Amino acid sequence: MGQYSQLAKDIVNNVGGKENISGLTHCITRLRFKLKDQGKAKDEVIKEMDGIVTLVKSGGQYQVVIGNHVPQVYAEVCKAADIQGGQESSGEKEKLPLGAKIIDLISGIFMPALAVLCACGMIKGLNALFEFANLYEEASGIYMLLNGIGDSIFYFFPVVLGYSSAVKLGLKPYLGMIIGASLVYPKLQGVDLNIFGLTINASYTSTALPAILIVAIAVPLQKFFNKVIPDVVKTFVTPMLVLLISVPLGFLVIGPVANSLSDGIGSGMQSIYNLSPILAGLVIGSLWQVLVIFGIHMAFVTVCMINIMTNGVDPVLGLMFGASFAQTAVVFAIWLKTKDKKLKAVALPAWISGIFGVTEPAIYGVTLPRIKYFVISCIGGALTGIFYGVVDLKMYSMAGLGVFGIPAFFEKGNMEDSTINCLIGVAIAMVFSFAATFVLYKDKDFKKKVFIENDKIVKKIVVKSPVEGKIMNLSEVPDAAFSNGAMGKGAAVIPTVGKVVSPVNGTISVLFPTLHAIGITSDEGAELFIHIGMNTVNLGGKYFTAKIAQGDRVSVGQEMITFDLEAIQKEGYLVETPIIISNTDNFFDIVESGKDTVKIGDKLITIVC
């Protein structure tokens, strides 16, 4: 059994089982599920599992953030679910809005190739560095070999995208590869092709869009021919006809249009950059980590890929390069200053991982719960983005993350200046972020994990008052189980009306037979406990009437219990009613309203998530 086998099985079980998975890919740190029904997934269980950083539901994807060992977990999840990663099932799929569909399509096509694309970019960058350092010459065999390795995926990128597009769109994968291979066939590059009186001269090596669009055309062709061709010959006749139609159509029409579109994208991005490099650096540098949180940064990465494939350079994506170093510097400062041993244990691996560009543990585990320091890291990213805009720093290849991303900025013939500018920007990001954090940081008790749902950060849960009356401090309740906080933080109310309503939307998890106490689990995962009076369990349910039952769904303001306030007091019982958050440790803080009196439905407690 592999190291991550049990984690993988637990993930599969809690996303609704393998029958609920319609597709699976992964990026540098995340498993990206396509689920048929996200409602079947157990969100709270997943985000609290050991080995999981957090959970993000964004762009139509169910993203489980693992960390830098995601490839191993991904392989085990594929085994546990008995699926081939990246493939879409033929079952019913969740309907997505247009924006989510676009993000999902981009991720599904480009994500599988990203790691190898970055690896080849690093090889190209390091090869240029070694040649610049006179370790060997450009004409040497080792330079030519390494350059060939680095250039390979860029030159033959249509083959790679032909495969991944076919997997994503439902074409036979090897058919997609042949479409890509046909586009880069050497004897067809840059020559006049006279077909039916139409002459076309094009080159499709190192392109992105043509292969994707031709595969998109091939998908309905495959479906059509599979329906009309007899089973006995369709195995080879269908792909033959698909290739005979889609590839010539691609060369003559789709390819030129796609290349023009690629040129337009590159020119458009360059125009925006030229309008104000400083403004572009400010916006991209400051917002990059926010895009990463929601997992939608791939849209920008894809544009960068297309620019590099088309023009050999990208002016935009490099503006974000300092953001991860800003994040790392913030966490390093917190690690140095905090006296919280648990926080130190989280921050140490987080900033080490951040050096290599994997910042999710730092974001979700350290800075996002302490939002002020996340903002500092965004400011640091903005400052370095502005600097990169001023010095006109550009990316010349895809490369790795963090320190491994530096080779992307090696400019042939200007290696020294481009490298120095890159490193100055990193220094700006780290020095500002470290200094600001070191000066401002103070220890506080916060939750370690953050949950992203529907492109929103869940920051707080408002608990409305379930009763009307006078608010008292929980520490003043004449029962040590409540006053010393052993059962959790919260507030207490001395009721003036004998009625209890639901303070949240959720489910009745506990209803005591004596009706004096109720447990509610809110939809956000907060576990509330309402105890009506002191020692009222001894009444055996006398004077209490239930309007709900255990297991019932309740909404805010829904009546749950009525009780005879005067009769209970005449029996000699105190009616102080604690409202407790019993899973207090799962949240950053429990904040009382600060009021003296409260009516039913007024804000009583704010749970900071």
- Asked whether the beta carbons of 493 and 577 are under 8 A apart, the reply is yes
What are the residue boundaries of the structural domains of the chain, listed by start? 1-94, 276-451, 460-608
pLDDT of residue 440: 92
Round to whole Å and give the CA distance between 433 and 68. 24
Q: Which fold is adopted by the domain 1-94?
A: Gyrase A; domain 2 (3.30.1360)
Query: Which residue type does 162 have?
Result: G
Tokens for 330, please give them: 């913030």
Checking if the pLDDT of 208 tops 90, the result is: no
The yes-or-no answer on residue 531 being catalytic is yes
- Asked whether the beta carbons of 600 and 499 are under 8 A apart, the reply is yes
Alpha helices, H only, 405-520? 415-440, 480-483
> What is the helix (H) or strand (E) element at residue 406, kind and residue range?
none
Nearest in space to 279 (alpha carbons), one of 2, 65, 271, 79 = 271
pLDDT above 70 coverage of the chain, percent? 90
364 exposure class (CB count in 10 Å sphere: 0-12, 13-18, 19+): buried
Given 27, 78, 304, 609, the catalytic residue: 27
Alpha-carbon dihedral sign for residues 324, 326, 329, 334: negative
Round to whole Å and give the CA distance between 86 and 186. 30
Given 26, 297, 516, 531, the catalytic residue: 531
Query: Could you report the per-residue pLDDT of 125-169, keeping only the tens digit for each?
Result: 788 888 888 899 888 999 999 989 988 888 898 999 999 999 888
Span 226-241, mean pLDDT?
A: 91
pLDDT of residue 298: 65
pLDDT of residue 346: 77
Round to whole Å and give the CA distance between 135 and 420. 20
pLDDT greater at residue 30 or residue 507: 507
β-pairing verdict for 527-531 and 577-581: antiparallel
> Average pLDDT over the chain, rounded to whole?
84
Checking if the pLDDT of 445 tops 50, the result is: no
Q: Which of 45-49, 211-215, 406-410 has the lowest mean pLDDT?
A: 45-49
Round to whole Å and give the CA distance between 252 and 249. 5
- Asked whether the beta carbons of 387 and 425 are under 8 A apart, the reply is yes
| Highest mean pLDDT out of 397-401, 452-456, 537-541 | 537-541
Query: Could you report the per-residue pLDDT of 505-522, keeping only the tens digit for each?
Result: 999 998 988 999 999 999
- Asked whether the beta carbons of 558 and 493 are under 8 A apart, the reply is no
The CA-based dihedral angle spanning residues 366, 367, 370, 373, taken in that order and rounded to the nearest 10 degrees? 140
Give the sheet arrangement for strand 544-546, strand by strand.
Answer: 499-501, 559-563, 544-546
Rg (CA), the chain: 30
pTM for the full predicted model:
0.55
The CATH number for 460-608, chosen from 3.40.50.10310, 3.40.50.300, 3.20.20.10, 2.70.70.10, is 2.70.70.10
Q: Do domains 1-94 and 460-608 have the same CATH topology?
A: no
Query: Could you report the per-residue pLDDT of 275-292, keeping only the tens digit for each?
Result: 888 988 898 899 888 877
Helix axes 231-249, 209-228, angle to 10 degrees: 150
The yes-or-no answer on residue 69 being catalytic is no
Nearest in space to 397 (alpha carbons), one of 305, 316, 319 = 305
The rounded Cα 600 to chain-centroid distance in angstroms is 38
Checking if the pLDDT of 381 tops 90, the result is: yes
